[in-house]
């Protein structure tokens, strides 16, 4: 035991002095029996010791438009997400190992049935305009997102809160029904705490985050300078200034990284990952996330109202081929329910569904389908490689005797004319921090975005019961049962979970992959420094 400690100490000191890479550190510490999550956290802490302050750190990102705004409620694409994370601070964050990282809230407690939650507000956290963050600011912020006029992307999260009160440094939230995951929901990137709730000017860009907004040119660039009184300066805000440059073109973004115009980039095209690996001074970073690519069937419309036909299609897709060819190997096979090991309480004993042409043909025959073409709609923008994936699907299904045909749709108008309208199409989900939120968002009978029109009373019942269940083992069992129902009866075909694939230059230090979102869940600019 003592020997192990000595070895661990030695490795930590190596990491502190920068003589050991993260990969090596984690490899060697896990060999000593340290968990991977702990090893990663240990390394980050050790490496932080040599964090350098100063300089300008730049990220080149896809996913910004000149239509973007600083109103955090309206953020919907990648750049506004990263911008929110740079200037904003939420009540809590979700750490890479899936634990709660306390930010503006320093303590959270609940009553026994998870219907009443208390958030203790950290003292001395300062907004960019010099005001101190109070419990009233927090309540005003949440209230604004509850108001439908704010068009908040977090409306679905906050609308279950029936009462909010601020008293001293304590915020109390009462829920209409119990929710054991509430702290995780408060980490949503729309829920940036703003002074006075941001009611005067929601797009002012004033928050309590590490950086102040200096230049805001939507669709072009966002420049930030360090917030002098940032409360958590020991763990972030290393660079004097950080910049997000919007470069939507893949080739230009990659070229900018190679030439040093930017230090890091999101969304590396899987097709060029192998090529980039050979380039001096460039490191590919990838983190298994919760995002997934899907083909969705409306279970209430023929021919997809027949479970045998749905099962035939689920068996007729070659998942490994998709991971290899569409994701370039940077991802994992899906199993027709939207949960993977990145979620707490994931049941890893559920058998993996494989491509089985014979069994698919059997189910297809049993479904009594008349043999007319089954149309799958896809557009290039449904997810990267969506059209190729649809064609692979069609080929493997045809091999099983299922007349699956791909219809190419334009990107323009895809989300209003095809998705959620046509009975069978390609789509994607970014994933949510907890199982409850993912299921409540898209698979509950009454969910707004129930894009498979899946309605199952037993499933709904389990979902609501699991939400208020504080016993983890029981809860895990409920989630497992729900996964089985969805996998065997749902309209969801989930061939693959995609990794976040990013690249950085060698001079960027402090990188720590985060399954919660791309570019270290939007915090790469805060947490990294220029070595």
Partner 1 sequence: MHPILKLLVQRIALGLLLLLAVSAVIFLGVEALPGDTAQQILGQSATPEALANLREKLGLNDPPLTRYFAWLGGVLTGDLGTALTNGVDIADAIGQRLGNTLFLAGCAAVIAVPLAILLGLVAARYAGRWPDKVISGITLTTISLPEFVAAYFVIFVLTQLIPVFQPVAMVFPGMSFWAKLNAVALPVIVLVLVVLAHMMRMTRAAILNVMQSAYIETAELKGLSPMTVIWRHAFPNAIAPVVSVVMLNLAYLVVGVVVVEVVFGYNALGQYLVDHVTKRDLPVVQAVGLIFAAVYIFLNMLADIIGILANPRLRHPK
Which residues form the interface with partner 1 (CB under 8 A)? 60, 65-69, 71, 74, 76-77, 148-149, 151, 153, 155-156, 203, 215, 217-221, 245-249, 251-252, 255-256, 258-259, 261-262, 412-413, 415-417, 419, 427, 448-449
Q: How far is the CB of 152 from partner 1 (least distance, A)?
A: 8
* CB of 208 closer than 8 Å to CB of 133: yes
Q: How far is the CB of 507 from partner 1 (least distance, A)?
A: 17
E strand or H helix that includes residue 186: none
In DSSP notation, 463-476 reads: HHHHHT---HHHHH
Q: How far is the CB of 82 from partner 1 (least distance, A)?
A: 16
Q: Which is nearer to partner 1, 256 or 530 (CB)?
A: 256
How many residues in the chain?
531
E strand or H helix that includes residue 251: helix 250-258
Q: How far is the CB of 151 from partner 1 (least distance, A)?
A: 5
Q: How far is the CB of 219 from partner 1 (least distance, A)?
A: 6
Q: How far is the CB of 275 from partner 1 (least distance, A)?
A: 12
Q: Which of 290, 298, 292, 318 is nearest to 96 (CA)?
A: 290
Q: Which is nearer to partner 1, 18 or 413 (CB)?
A: 413
Q: What sign has the CA pseudo-torsion 350, 354, 358, 364?
A: positive
Q: Which is nearer to partner 1, 39 or 418 (CB)?
A: 418
**Alpha-carbon distance 371 to 336, whole Å?**
24
Cβ within 8 Å of residue 170, ≥6 positions away: 118, 119, 120, 121, 135
Distances from the Cα of 56 to the Cαs of 59, 238, 265, 277, 286, in angstroms?
10, 9, 15, 25, 24
Q: Which is nearer to partner 1, 7 or 261 (CB)?
A: 261
Q: Which of 435, 476, 470 is nearest to 111 (CA)?
A: 470
**Alpha-carbon distance 516 to 438, whole Å?**
13
Q: How far is the CB of 220 from partner 1 (least distance, A)?
A: 4
Q: Which is nearer to partner 1, 27 or 219 (CB)?
A: 219
Q: Which is nearer to partner 1, 255 or 485 (CB)?
A: 255
Q: How far is the CB of 292 from partner 1 (least distance, A)?
A: 14
Q: Can you tell me which residue has the tokens 């090893």?
A: 39
Q: Which of 126, 134, 119 is nearest to 170 (CA)?
A: 119
Q: Which is nearer to partner 1, 27 or 281 (CB)?
A: 281
Distances from the Cα of 301 to the Cαs of 295, 427, 454, in angstroms?
15, 18, 11
Q: How far is the CB of 428 from partner 1 (least distance, A)?
A: 8
Q: 3-class DSSP state for residue 418?
A: coil
Cis bond leading into 153, ω under 30°?
A: no
Q: Which of 143, 97, 154, 91 is nearest to 119 (CA)?
A: 91
């Amino acid at each position: 035991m003592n020997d192990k400690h000595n070895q661990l100490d030695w490795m930590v000191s190596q990491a502190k002095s920068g003589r050991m890479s993260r990969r090596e550190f984690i490899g060697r510490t896990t060999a000593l029996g340290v968990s991977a999550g702990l090893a990663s956290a240990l390394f980050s802490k050790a490496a932080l010791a040599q964090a350098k302050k100063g300089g300008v750190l730049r990220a080149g990102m896809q996913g910004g438009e000149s239509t973007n705004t600083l109103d955090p409620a309206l953020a919907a694409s990648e750049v506004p997400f990263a911008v929110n994370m740079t200037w904003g601070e939420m009540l809590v964050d979700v750490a890479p190992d899936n634990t709660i990282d306390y930010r503006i809230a320093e303590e959270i407690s609940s009553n026994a049935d998870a219907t009443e939650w208390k958030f203790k507000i950290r003292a001395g956290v300062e907004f960019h305009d010099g005001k101190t963050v109070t419990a009233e600011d927090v309540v005003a912020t949440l209230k604004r997102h509850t108001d439908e006029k704010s068009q908040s992307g977090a409306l679905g999260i906050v609308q279950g809160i029936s009462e909010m009160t601020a008293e001293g440094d304590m915020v109390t939230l009462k829920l209409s029904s119990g929710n054991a995951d509430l702290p995780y929901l408060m980490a949503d990137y729309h829920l940036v705490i703003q002074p006075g709730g941001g009611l005067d000017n929601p797009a002012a860009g004033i928050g309590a985050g590490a950086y102040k907004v200096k230049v805001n040119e939507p669709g072009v660039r966002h420049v930030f300078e360090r917030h002098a009184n940032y409360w958590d300066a020991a763990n972030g805000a290393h660079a004097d200034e950080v910049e997000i440059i919007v470069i939507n073109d893949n080739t230009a973004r990659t070229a900018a990284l190679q030439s040093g115009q930017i230090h890091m980039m999101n969304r590396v095209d899987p097709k060029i990952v192998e090529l980039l690996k050979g380039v001096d001074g460039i490191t590919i970073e990838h983190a298994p996330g919760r995002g997934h690519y899907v083909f969705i069937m409306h279970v209430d419309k023929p021919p997809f109202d027949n479970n045998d036909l749905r099962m035939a299609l689920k068996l007729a897709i070659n998942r490994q081929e998709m991971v290899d060819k569409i994701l370039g190997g940077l991802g994992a096979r899906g199993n027709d329910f939207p949960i993977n090991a990145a979620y707490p309480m994931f049941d890893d004993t559920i058998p993996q569904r494989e491509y089985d042409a014979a069994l698919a043909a059997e189910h297809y025959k049993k479904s009594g389908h008349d043999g007319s073409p089954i149309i799958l709609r896809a557009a290039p923008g449904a997810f990267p490689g969506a059209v190729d994936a649809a064609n692979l699907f069609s080929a493997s299904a045809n091999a099983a005797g299922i007349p699956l045909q791909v219809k190419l749709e334009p990107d323009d108008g895809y989300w209003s004319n095809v998705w959620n309208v046509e009975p069978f199409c390609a789509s994607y989900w970014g994933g949510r921090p907890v199982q409850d939120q993912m299921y409540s968002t898209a698979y509950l009978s009454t969910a707004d975005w129930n894009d498979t029109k899946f309605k199952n009373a037993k499933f709904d019942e389990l979902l609501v019961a699991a939400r208020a269940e504080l016993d983890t083992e029981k809860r895990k069992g409920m989630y497992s049962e729900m996964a089985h129902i969805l996998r065997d009866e749902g309209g969801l075909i989930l061939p693959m979970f995609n990794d976040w694939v990013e690249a950085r230059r060698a001079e960027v230090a402090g990188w720590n992959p985060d399954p919660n979102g791309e570019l270290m869940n939007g915090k790469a600019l805060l947490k990294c420094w220029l070595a």
